[in-house]
């Protein structure tokens, strides 16, 4: 990204983040996220959870899963991580840390999201993190994580 | 699958051609495909009129915003058959990931079933102008909405996450991965059509390169290239009358993802779990075991895949591939090693999507590897993509 270093007296505008566009399968997820609540999709037939919701349930394979979005505790453990120094997407200022976590109360669900503690954070497998949200636009918040000890 | 793979050793590779793999092409991809196909047919000692089957996988793998245009950025079986002047009985394309093995199984099955007698099998790779992976999206819809708003996009972050879990679990170091990349580039530097011909990369050069997706650097991914490879397949019976020594397909196996994950979230555990099924099916299909394989070729579209395949196949114990590499165990120039990248792989040739692994098997087992010819080879194996999205093929030049 080109940043005009000579724009006297004005900071560079914050990068424009990519906006998630909810659809019929995800509206409940993003509504909850806007209220800083992390949810997972629960199948109305078998009661098991997944993320992201698919057109069928990955557990019982019903084509009428009737997913509802149920809040989760929001605590997770780091499985792995990477520092992105060359993003493929606009709106992200490198370097930044992505963590791949498993949710404590739904350990079969893995999520990849930003770690708000920055690229220098010290991590190992199992490091506890808690969900946090980035407010990227009016009424649009994106899940991220923060080290539990710093939260 | 029934207990016996009925096509075992019934289908043979009988000829090939490979265009130069180049960073930027000066001619349309379709022109290169036509010429390479003609060369492969001639190499097999056949004529276009005898080719009654065309099989390929036309995917354009770039994840940026690039259009698929037949003859320009992709080359489909139908396009090639039409432009080479053939009248095929069977022309199909494989859709999905694991293109090389997915399409190769179509070709093997078509010969074995009698759907075609002589198949021209091709893979044509285009390197689009501009950035290969950059995506200018400002809104994320569908599958993208679960990853892109968080900054997760593109295959390198995917592999970096899986590989870092391997590193953390087993203590693998950047020094070991440097040996993998250097081995691929050493061997690719000896192959005239390679994009890296005459350009090896030392361990020191690798280690001096800054990471881009920790712990990976740009050398850990194969370089996008433009190039075409073609093979000719026919039945074992028909192969007896052709000029080249046949290389038979002994068996194959493909793996599938089982977990519901966001797009491009390929976890280490998912790949290894799928690998157990791939290995079991591969040995059952081919009637061989890992100890029977003289020339395994690991897929290395991203360098960590070499460890994943070595451990999936049982060439070493789980978590120990990096140690074997660091102790010189994959050096193709030393005796009694496991030369998993003797053909240069994807990192040593350019992004030809599994072609180098298949071609090294063909060249070595048919005795056509020239100065690189290895001695006393009967069996080989090529790995493709990951165990959860691709699979592996077993070859022999001496069917029992």
Residue A113 in any domain: the answer is yes
The pLDDT of residue B336: 94
Contact B388, B271 (CB under 8 A): yes
Report the residue of B150, B263, B264 to disrupt the A interface, i.e. the one with the largest count of A CBs within 10 Å. Answer: B150
Where do we find the tokens 């057109």?
A55
A45-95 pLDDT, tens digit each: 999 999 999 999 999 999 999 999 999 999 999 999 999 999 889 999 999
**Strand B11-18, strand B247-254: pairing:** antiparallel
Are A106 and A86 members of one domain? yes
Tokens standing for B195? 């994009």
Determine contact: B162 vs chain A, CB below 8 A.
yes
The pLDDT of residue B65: 65
Contact B287, B395 (CB under 8 A): no
Contact A95, A58 (CB under 8 A): no
Q: Between vectors from CA B90 to CA B68 and to CA B79, what angle results, nearest 5°?
A: 30
Output DSSP code: residue B222.
P
A7 pLDDT above the threshold of 50: no
Q: Is residue B336 left, alpha or beta, with left meaning phi > 0 and alpha meaning psi from -120 to 50?
A: left
Contacts of B211 (CB under 8 A, 6+ apart): A83, A85, B217
Are A50 and A82 members of one domain? no
| Among A11, A43, A71, residue at a domain's last position | A71
Determine contact: A102 vs chain B, CB below 8 A.
no
**ipTM of predicted assembly, 2 dp:** 0.92
Are A122 and A148 members of one domain? yes
Residue extents of the structural domains in chain B: 11-130+223-396
B56 DSSP β-pair partners? B93, B122
The pLDDT of residue A6: 40
Are A50 and A91 members of one domain? no
Distance CA B262, CA B243 (A): 49
Residue A106 in any domain: the answer is yes
Residue A88 in any domain: the answer is yes
Are A63 and A41 members of one domain? yes
The pLDDT of residue B68: 87
Are A77 and A142 members of one domain? yes
| Phi–psi pair at B127, nearest 5 degrees | -110, 100
A5 pLDDT above the threshold of 70: no
* Torsion angle in degrees (nearest 10) through CA of B279, B280, B285, B291: 60
Contact B55, B119 (CB under 8 A): yes
Distance CA A76, CA B114 (A): 54
Alpha carbon A144 to chain centroid, angstroms: 4
Are A77 and A151 members of one domain? yes
Number of domains in chain A: 2
Distance CA A127, CA A9 (A): 41
| Among A12, A37, A71, residue at a domain's last position | A71
Smallest Cβ distance to B262: which of A86, A112, A125? Answer: A112
Q: Is residue B199 left, alpha or beta, with left meaning phi > 0 and alpha meaning psi from -120 to 50?
A: beta
What is the CATH number that goes with domain B11-130+223-396? 3.40.47.10
Query: CB count, 10 Å around CB of B188?
Result: 29
Are A77 and A121 members of one domain? yes
B130 to chain A, minimum CA–CA distance in Å?
A: 13
Half-sphere exposure (Cβ direction) of B209: Cα atoms closer than 13 Å: 23
Distance CA B269, CA B254 (A): 17
Are A89 and A130 members of one domain? yes
Q: Count residue pairs from A and B with Cβ separation < 8 A.
A: 128
Write the burial class of residue B237 (CB in 10 Å: 0-12 exposed, 13-18 middle, 19+ buried): exposed
Residue A9 in any domain: the answer is no
Which segments of B204-320 are extended strands (E)?
211-213, 216-217, 227-235, 247-254, 295-297
Distance CA A56, CA B398 (A): 47
Q: How confident is the model at residue A113 (pLDDT cuts 50, 70, 90)?
A: very high
Distance CA B300, CA B386 (A): 9
Cis peptide before A95 (omega within 30 of 0): yes
What residues of A are in contact with residue B63 (Cβ under 8 Å)? 88
Q: Per-residue pLDDT for chain B (400 aa), expressed as one digit of tens each?
A: 556 799 999 999 999 999 999 999 999 999 999 999 999 999 999 999 999 999 999 988 776 667 889 999 999 999 999 999 999 999 999 988 899 999 999 999 999 999 999 999 999 999 988 777 788 899 999 999 999 999 999 999 999 999 999 999 999 999 999 999 999 999 999 999 999 999 999 999 999 999 999 999 999 999 999 999 999 999 999 999 999 999 999 999 999 988 999 989 999 999 999 999 999 999 999 999 999 999 999 999 999 999 999 999 999 999 999 999 999 999 999 999 999 999 999 999 999 999 999 999 999 999 999 999 999 999 999 999 999 999 999 999 999 7
A135 pLDDT above the threshold of 70: yes
Domain extent at residue A35: 25-71
**Strand B118-125, strand B53-56: pairing:** parallel
Are A79 and A110 members of one domain? yes
Residue A38 in any domain: the answer is yes
Are A65 and A94 members of one domain? no
Determine contact: A92 vs chain B, CB below 8 A.
yes
Where do we find the tokens 């660091």?
B326
Contact B47, B41 (CB under 8 A): yes
Smallest Cβ distance to B148: which of A18, A30, A83? Answer: A18
User: Taking CB atoms and an 8 Å limit, are A18 and B139 in contact across chains?
Assistant: yes
User: CATH no. for residue A81?
Assistant: 2.40.50
SS3 content of chain A, % helix, strand, coil (to 5): 5, 40, 55
For chain A, give the percent of residues with pLDDT over 90.
85
Element (H, E) at A137: strand A128-137
| Total-model pTM | 0.95
B338 DSSP β-pair partners? none
Are A61 and A108 members of one domain? no
Output DSSP code: residue B21.
P
* Torsion angle in degrees (nearest 10) through CA of B82, B85, B90, B95: -40
């Amino acid at each position: 990204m080109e940043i005009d270093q000579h724009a006297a007296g004005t900071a560079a505008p914050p990068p424009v983040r990519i906006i998630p566009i909810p659809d019929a399968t995800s509206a409940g997820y993003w509504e909850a996220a806007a209220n800083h609540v992390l949810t997972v999709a629960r199948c109305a037939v078998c009661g098991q959870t997944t993320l992201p919701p698919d057109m069928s349930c990955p557990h019982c394979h019903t084509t009428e899963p009737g997913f509802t979005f149920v809040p989760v505790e929001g605590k997770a453990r780091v499985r792995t991580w990477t520092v992105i120094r060359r993003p493929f997407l606009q709106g992200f200022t490198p370097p930044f840390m992505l963590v791949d976590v498993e949710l404590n109360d739904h350990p079969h669900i893995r999520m990849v999201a930003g770690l708000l503690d920055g690229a220098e954070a010290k991590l190992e497998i199992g490091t506890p993190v808690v969900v946090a949200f980035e407010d990227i636009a009016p009424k649009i918040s994106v899940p991220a994580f923060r080290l539990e000890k710093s939260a | 699958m029934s207990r016996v793979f009925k096509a075992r050793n019934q289908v043979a590779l009988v000829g090939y051609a490979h265009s130069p793999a180049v960073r930027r092409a000066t001619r349309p991809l379709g022109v290169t495909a036509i010429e390479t196909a003609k060369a492969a047919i001639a190499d097999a000692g056949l004529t276009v009129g005898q080719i009654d089957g065309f099989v390929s996988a036309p995917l354009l793998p770039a994840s940026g915003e690039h259009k698929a245009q037949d003859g320009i950025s992709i080359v489909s079986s139908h396009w090639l058959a039409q432009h080479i002047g053939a009248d095929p009985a069977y022309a199909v394309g494989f859709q999905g990931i694991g293109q090389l093995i997915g399409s190769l199984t179509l070709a093997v099955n078509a010969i074995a079933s009698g759907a075609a007698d002589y198949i021209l099998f091709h893979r044509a790779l285009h390197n689009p102008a501009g950035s290969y992976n950059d995506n200018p999206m400002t809104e994320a819809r569908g599958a993208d909405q679960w990853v892109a708003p968080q900054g997760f996009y593109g295959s390198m972050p995917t592999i970096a996450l899986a590989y870092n879990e391997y590193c953390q679990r087993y203590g693998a170091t950047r020094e070991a991965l440097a040996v993998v990349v250097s081995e691929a580039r050493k061997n690719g530097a000896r192959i005239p059509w390679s994009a890296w011909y005459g350009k090896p990369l030392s361990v020191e050069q690798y280690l001096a390169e800054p990471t881009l997706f920790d712990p990976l650097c740009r050398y850990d991914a194969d370089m996008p290239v433009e190039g075409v490879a073609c093979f000719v397949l026919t039945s074992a019976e028909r192969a007896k009358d052709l000029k080249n020594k046949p290389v038979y397909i002994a068996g194959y196996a493909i793996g599938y993802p089982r977990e519901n994950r966001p797009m491009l979230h390929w976890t280490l555990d998912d790949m290894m779990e799928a690998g157990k099924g791939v290995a079991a099916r591969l040995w059952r299909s081919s009637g061989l075991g890992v100890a029977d394989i003289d020339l395994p070729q690991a897929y290395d579209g991203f360098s960590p895949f070499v460890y994943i395949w070595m451990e999936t196949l049982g060439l070493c114990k789980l978590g120990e591939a990096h140690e074997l590499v660091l102790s010189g165990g994959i050096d193709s120039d030393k005796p009694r090693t496991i030369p998993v990248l003797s053909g240069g792989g994807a990192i040593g040739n350019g992004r030809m999507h599994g072609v180098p692994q298949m071609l090294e098997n063909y060249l070595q087992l048919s005795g056509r590897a020239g100065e690189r010819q290895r001695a006393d080879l009967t069996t080989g194996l090529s790995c493709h993509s990951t165990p959860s999205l691709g699979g592996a093929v077993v070859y022999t030049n001496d069917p029992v």
